[in-house]
Chains A and B, each alone.
Chain A
Amino acid sequence: MSAFDKPRLTIGQRLFIWVMHLFSKVGYGIIVPFQEDYVRTYGAIDYMRWLMEGFRITTQLEKRFGQVEGQMIISMAGLWTGCRWCSIAHMFISNLILYHKEEVLGPIDELDLPSWQEKTDAEVLDLLDEKLTGRWTAMAAVSRRIYELRTGEVEPQDEDDDLLMRTNVMWELLIECTIMAFDFDPETIPAWGYPGRKRKLRARYRAARRAANESEVH
């Protein structure tokens, strides 16, 4: 949008962005397209600060709820904020971790999330209840809790609520820039995490998901 042209970055900022691109390429096999926007919005130091805080909260979530569930919770924080990138990237990695460990498909297809975001909050809550059954029942309660904490229907009551609330706030802060993925093709959004690098695993997972979706239709 030419009306909102941005000032040029300094050499230091450009160097920082180059290092961040290198880091994400080496660590995760992808280049996150929002680094420049983050640096412009928060500055390099604060951006690093929020990134580290995000990692810290992710670690706490994975420690408390499990690796698959922790990523699912972050995806839900992204889902409610309306971020296509975060909701898909974190649900995708959650599904990949599960598929890598158990060869089982997760309850929510990450590619369904953009259509969920078009629905009303009440409809999304119903969908979550419908999908999160059996071994995922606890997650249904957690996902409803995330929503209630966001809307202010309930105040944090215990340490789990504190963690969920911090997740909501942290990802709202990070979504400030990932919101620019508003029109991204969902299939191009990568899994943000370690097994996301495994091309064969990704292909096997996508094939299994397609087969499951087709058998659901027939």
Chain B
Amino acid sequence: MDFTQVSGCTRQARESLAILQRALADRRVRTAFIASRPRYRGLALWIAHVAEDPNARSFHVRAQAEDWLSSRQTRTEKLIEDLGRPSWNRRTRSETTPSGRLRRMRLKSLARKKDSAKKDSAKKDSET
């Protein structure tokens, strides 16, 4: 759906679009909205959310929309996959959060315990 020429949308029109989108959601038809104004990308997300259509998403450009239409993931699945992309996750949790630091401390103490256990067993071996 191309919203690039849209410059206004009444509440009634928006709700009608959501009802239409709900029908598409029931048929599991994929939808891509394109909008060149942030307000109408928001409108598209509003429609998708209200219609509970996981296969609809809004984009800036046509190429992104075409990629979306040819894929199979839902909106949330795609975002979760993108969020977990390894190259975007270079910083480890231990750098920032207290729970991460706690985890790192626990891992360190475990490693230390393992080391000392190895040393102990090596000592015993050499004694025997």
Question: Residues on A close to B: CB < 8 A?
Answer: 1, 3-4, 41-42, 53, 55-56, 59-60, 63, 79-84, 114, 116-122, 124, 150-152, 156, 159, 162-163, 165-166, 169-170, 172-173, 175-177, 179-180, 182-183
Contacts and interface: CB of A to CB of B under 8 A. Distances in A.
Nearest to B60: A151
A201 B75 CA distance: 39
A7 B82 CA distance: 30
Given A81-B45, A169-B82, A177-B49, A120 B63 contact: no
A151 B43 contact: no
Contacts of B82: 165, 169
B35 to A, nearest CB: 8
Given A1-B15, A3-B19, A82 B63 contact: no
24 contacts: A4-B22, A4-B50, A42-B76, A56-B97, A60-B91, A60-B95, A60-B96, A81-B45, A82-B35, A82-B42, A82-B45, A117-B37, A120-B37, A152-B63, A156-B87, A163-B91, A166-B88, A172-B79, A173-B76, A173-B79, A173-B83, A179-B46, A182-B43, A182-B46
A4 B40 contact: no
Given A4-B52, A169-B83, A151 B61 contact: yes
Interface residues of B, number: 42
* A-B residue pairs, 8 tightest by C-beta: A82-B42, A117-B38, A82-B41, A117-B39, A82-B38, A151-B60, A162-B88, A59-B96
B83 A166 contact: yes
Contacts of B90: 159, 162
Q: For chain B, what secondary structure do more than half of its interface residues adopt (helix, strand, loop), or is it mixed? A: helix
B75 to A, nearest CB: 8
B46 A180 contact: yes
A124 B38 CA distance: 9
A182 B76 contact: no
A13 B52 CA distance: 19
Contacts of B76: 42, 173, 176
Interface of B: 7, 11, 15, 18-19, 22, 35-46, 49-52, 58, 60-61, 63-64, 75-76, 79-80, 82-83, 87-91, 93, 95-97
Contacts of A159: 90-91
Given A121-B36, A170-B83, A173-B83, A82 B43 contact: yes
Given A4-B22, A156-B88, A175 B45 contact: yes
Given A56-B96, A80-B60, A175-B45, 17 more contacts: A3-B22, A4-B18, A79-B38, A114-B39, A118-B37, A121-B37, A163-B88, A163-B91, A165-B88, A170-B83, A176-B49, A176-B76, A177-B49, A179-B46, A179-B49, A182-B43, A183-B11
A170 B90 CA distance: 16
